């Protein structure tokens, strides 16, 4: 296996609804003196007691509504120096699924309030004189959609994204930040140059791969355990104008996987004919060709796509994108022709769109707005992300897609599957990709999840948050 071939595939399930009960324990924390922006009205507490997955309910004692990052520093510093430290968690858009943004009987920091009320710019674009490179300095509370728009005003853009852009920079960097660009550009945590972090001791620390590097790598993918990201410096590159957006349908899973691997093998940044984005979809015979995430297929082709799905019960879709601008407009079609030569998709089932760069990156938003207009968006949205070793991906298709999802008809939400490259991940970061030997089973212990990284993860916790103040909701250390 060469370095450029994927070691793992990402499999994502979106599930419609789960139920959970609310913990009714009473808050106990009292701050003296109590700042004006520390609130504990029922509406604020209710909002801060759940997240996007709605699988966990933890009621905080109060919610901090900061107007500057100094409010965050003071709160954590107060907790750290309190005889009985209280838990603190940062909440951006609440897009986590298992309680990362919750602090039972503690304080949840409403980072969205900081975004709306801060007195200094949350996003600045600058060029370093020493290297000529362009960066975005971004508050951790800022949304990626706003980072995109601010960067495009200067003709530049970040290169690694998540599928959904209305989530915070601090939120994705504390988890990883993956999407169809990750095979080429790496996850979002691999595209950060520098950060300002408020540690669990209440200290503001500037860190990078060369300065305070232990904190830098611990925070990236660290699930909020070591600090709250106050600022992140994001690398930028020249922005394209338009996107060739293409989907191809498969009835054979082996061919689907083989072609995904082949397409991402052209993954070096300097190769002009390499793709910029690749994901995969699983389409079931009882579902629509389109999902709430995007309406892609022409309505006139829906009947024959449904017929293909009915004949095979389950079909697979490779979704790719290649960016271009006025300089590459004349060669884009030829580049794609070379890339697609020899692919084994179903004849006559290749579909193409030509859209703006912004429309492609923000493609999920239209589906969200449609559901909002129908009153269907504000429901639980739990999902499951899995790293599946390449050696077991065919077993996963047989055992999960066909024997569980299809046969038991347990989900109608989108199912995504796409390949990753080890070489694009920084092993020094807290993010974890399991080794090939890890079996496909539920791993309840965080120590098993982090594997060989656990010792360092624990040591960094003791160094930067020794009183276990930050992000208790996932119970990594707060059992």
> CB within 8 A of 209, min separation 6: which ones?
216, 217, 428
Residue 474: per-residue pLDDT: 86
Exactly one of 71, 146, 163, 465 is catalytic; which is it?
163
> CB within 8 A of 139, min separation 6: which ones?
69, 114, 115, 118, 122, 123, 169, 230, 231
Residue 437: per-residue pLDDT: 46
CA proximity to 176, closest of 473, 448, 430: 430
> CB within 8 A of 369, min separation 6: which ones?
none
List the strands of the sheet with 134-139, edge to edge. Answer: 123-127, 134-139, 227-235, 192-199, 204-208
The answer to whether residues 244 and 454 touch, using CB atoms and an 8 Å cutoff, is no
The Cα 140–Cα 111 span in angstroms is 8
CB atoms within 10 A of CB 93: 18
Exactly one of 141, 146, 196, 279 is catalytic; which is it?
279
Q: Within 13 Å, how many C-alpha atoms sit on residue 196's CB side?
A: 14
The Cα 174–Cα 168 span in angstroms is 10
Please calculate the CA angle 208-125-221 and round it to the nearest 5 degrees. Answer: 35
The Cα 60–Cα 28 span in angstroms is 9
Residue 34: per-residue pLDDT: 60
Q: Strand 277-284 to strand 350-356: parallel, antiparallel, or no bridges (unpaired)? A: unpaired
H helix or E strand, kind and range, residue 361: helix 357-361
| Burial zone of 435 (CB within 10 Å; 0-12 exposed, 13-18 middle, 19+ buried) | exposed
Provide the CA 272 distance to its chain's centre, in angstroms. 27
- Global pTM value: 0.90
pLDDT in tens, the chain (479 residues): 344 445 556 666 544 433 333 333 444 455 555 667 999 999 999 999 998 888 889 999 999 999 999 999 999 999 999 999 999 999 999 988 788 999 999 999 999 999 999 989 999 999 988 888 899 999 999 999 999 999 999 999 999 999 999 999 999 999 999 999 999 999 999 999 999 999 999 999 999 999 999 999 999 999 999 999 999 999 999 999 999 999 999 999 999 999 999 999 887 555 667 899 999 999 888 777 877 666 789 999 999 999 999 999 999 999 999 999 999 999 999 999 999 999 999 999 999 999 999 999 999 988 888 878 877 777 767 677 788 888 889 999 999 999 998 888 776 678 888 888 888 999 999 998 765 444 473 335 788 888 889 999 999 999 999 999 999 998 898 76
Residue 385: per-residue pLDDT: 79
The Cα 387–Cα 394 span in angstroms is 14
Please calculate the CA angle 287-248-398 and round it to the nearest 5 degrees. Answer: 60
Q: Is 325 a catalytic residue?
A: no
List the strands of the sheet with 350-356, edge to edge. Answer: 350-356, 242-250, 314-324, 277-284, 415-420, 8-14, 383-389
Tokens encoding 249: 């349908």
Tokens encoding 49: 């007691």
Residues in the chain: 479
Number of continuous H segments (helices) and E segments (strands) in the chain = 16, 18
- DSSP character at residue 99: S
Q: Is 163 a catalytic residue?
A: yes
Q: Is 95 a catalytic residue?
A: yes
Please calculate the CA angle 125-127-129 and round it to the nearest 5 degrees. Answer: 155
Backbone phi, psi, residue 372, to 5°: -60, -40
Provide the CA 58 distance to its chain's centre, in angstroms. 23
Exactly one of 95, 110, 146, 319 is catalytic; which is it?
95
Residue 444: per-residue pLDDT: 53
H helix or E strand, kind and range, residue 185: helix 182-185
Domains of the chain and any CATH numbers: 8-15+240-424 (3.40.462.10), 38-116 (3.30.43.10), 121-238+448-464 (3.30.465.10)
The Cα 419–Cα 115 span in angstroms is 34
The Cα 207–Cα 214 span in angstroms is 8
Residue 20: per-residue pLDDT: 31
């Amino acid at each position: 296996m060469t370095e450029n071939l994927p070691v793992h595939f990402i499999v994502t399930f979106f599930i419609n609804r789960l139920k959970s009960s609310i913990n009714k324990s009473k808050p106990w924390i009292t701050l003296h003196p109590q700042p004006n922006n520390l609130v504990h009205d029922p509406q604020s507490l209710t909002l801060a007691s759940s997240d996007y997955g709605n699988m966990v309910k933890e009621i905080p004692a109060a919610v901090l509504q900061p107007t500057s990052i100094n409010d965050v520093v003071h709160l954590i510093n107060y907790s750290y120096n309190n005889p009985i430290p209280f838990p603190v968690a940062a909440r951006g858009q609440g897009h986590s699924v298992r309680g990362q943004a919750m602090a039972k009987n503690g304080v949840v920091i409403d980072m969205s309030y900081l975004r709306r009320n801060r007195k200094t710019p949350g996003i600045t674009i600058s060029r370093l004189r020493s290297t000529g490179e362009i960066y975005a300095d971004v508050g951790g509370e800022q949304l990626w959609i706003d980072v995109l728009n601010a960067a495009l005003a200067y003709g530049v853009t970040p290169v690694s994204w998540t599928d959904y852009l209305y989530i915070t920079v601090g939120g994705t960097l504390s988890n990883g930040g993956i999407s169809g660009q990750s095979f080429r550009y790496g996850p979002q945590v691999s595209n950060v140059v520098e950060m300002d972090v408020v540690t669990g001791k209440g200290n503001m620390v500037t860190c990078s791969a060369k300065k305070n590097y232990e904190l830098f790598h611990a925070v990236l993918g660290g699930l909020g355990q070591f600090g709250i990201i106050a600022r992140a410096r994001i690398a930028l590159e020249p922005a394209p104008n338009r996107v060739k957006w293409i989907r191809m349908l498969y009835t054979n899973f082996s061919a689907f996987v083989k072609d995904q691997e082949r397409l991402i093998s052209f993954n070096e940044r300097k190769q002009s004919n390499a793709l910029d984005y690749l994901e995969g979809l699983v389409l079931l015979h009882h579902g629509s060709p389109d999902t709430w995430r995007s309406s892609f297929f022409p309505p006139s082709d829906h009947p024959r796509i449904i017929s293909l799905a009915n004949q095979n019960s389950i079909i697979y879709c490779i979704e790719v994108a290649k960016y271009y601008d006025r300089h590459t407009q004349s060669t884009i079609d030829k580049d794609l022709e070379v890339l697609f030569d020899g692919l084994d998709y179903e004849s006559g089932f290749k579909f193409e769109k030509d859209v703006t760069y912004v429309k492609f990156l923000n493609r999920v938003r239209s589906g969200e707005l449609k559901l909002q207009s129908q009153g269907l968006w504000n429901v639980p949205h739990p999902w499951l992300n899995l790293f599946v070793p390449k050696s077991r991906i065919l077993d996963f298709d047989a055992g999960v897609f066909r024997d569980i999802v299809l046969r038991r008809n347990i989900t109608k939400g989108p199912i995504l599957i796409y390949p990753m490259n080890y070489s694009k991940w920084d092993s020094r970061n807290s993010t974890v990709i399991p080794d090939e030997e890890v079996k496909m089973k539920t791993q309840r212990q965080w120590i098993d999840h982090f594997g060989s990284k656990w010792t360092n993860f624990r040591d960094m916790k003791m160094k930067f948050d020794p009183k276990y103040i930050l992000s208790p909701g996932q119970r990594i250390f707060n059992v």
